[in-house]
Amino acid sequence: MPYVTTADGAEIFHQDWGTGRPVVLCHGWPLNSDSWEAQALFLASHGYRVIAHDRRGHGRSTPTWHGNEMNTYADDLVTLIDTLDLRDVTLVGFSTGGGEVARYVGRHGTARVAQLALVSAVPPFMLRTDDNPGGLPAEVFDAIRAGSLADRSQLYRDLADGPFFGHNRPGANVSQGIRDVFWLRGLQAAHRSAYECVAAFSATDFRADLDAFDVPTLVIHGDDDQVVPFEVGGKASAARIKNATLKVYPGAPHGITDTHKEQLSTDLLDFLNS
């Protein structure tokens, strides 16, 4: 069965496609592993074993009451990698999944890791604080939590129809299907898990985790990302990670796994082959 069991009994669902050197894909909020389907199919078709899991409380994994924070997400990732006995892994994290990857490295090191990639990712630190004045104000994330409590379904509609895919930009043409499936996958997440994950992706400081990166790292970010602004996310991460390679997608929104899926798939394959 496509599940691994964590120390606290949570069942973590995963998809496992292809053969070859392993690539593990960590998804964004409030989605699940299906959000990686374009990249998973492409990379598995080009000689790699691709594993994509549903974070606890998301998709088909156990909707635990506790553990909806980055340390536990990283420990769950350890369980997945160790149970499947994966080695020379390329870890790829999109948005919140980038935080999961960063905390994995900071907490568990890179003994099993060959490469790292951050895509539209939340590190180094999204929240504005006295020592992180370039971050976003707490009111931004308070509004997301309030929207989740008031009408979670409409919150996800509004994100999909607006900033997530850049559909609110003049001339944008993001299909109804792409926007609808974001809403559908979001509602497959447990309410408490999705609510608590807002704090996990926004208020977790990943700066020390990025300092521990010691393998080749690719950072990909759109410069019109309205969810994790480029200056807050990709640009700051690439500047902090030793010898990171930064690839900027001009005019691209947050959800480039869909809007720029061919370019992203090709860039990831080039990185894997490098």
The catalytic residues are 95, 225, 254
Q: How far apart, in whole angstroms, are the C-alpha atoms of residue 138 and residue 126?
A: 9
Are 106 and 97 in contact by the 8 Å Cβ rule? The answer is no
In the chain, the amino acid numbered 79 is T
Token pair for 52: 């994509």
Q: For the CA atoms of the chain, what is the radius of gyration? A: 17
Binning the chain into helix, strand and coil, the percentages to the nearest 5 are 45, 20, 40
Token pair for 249: 């997608």
Q: Which residues are CB-neighbours of 244 under 8 A, at least 6 positions away?
A: 213, 217, 218, 219, 237, 238
Q: How far apart, in whole angstroms, are the C-alpha atoms of residue 177 and residue 167?
A: 13
In the chain, the amino acid numbered 36 is W
3-state secondary structure of 5: strand
Are 144 and 117 in contact by the 8 Å Cβ rule? The answer is no
CB atoms within 10 A of CB 55: 29
Q: How far apart, in whole angstroms, are the C-alpha atoms of residue 212 and residue 235?
A: 18
Largest CA distance in the chain: 49
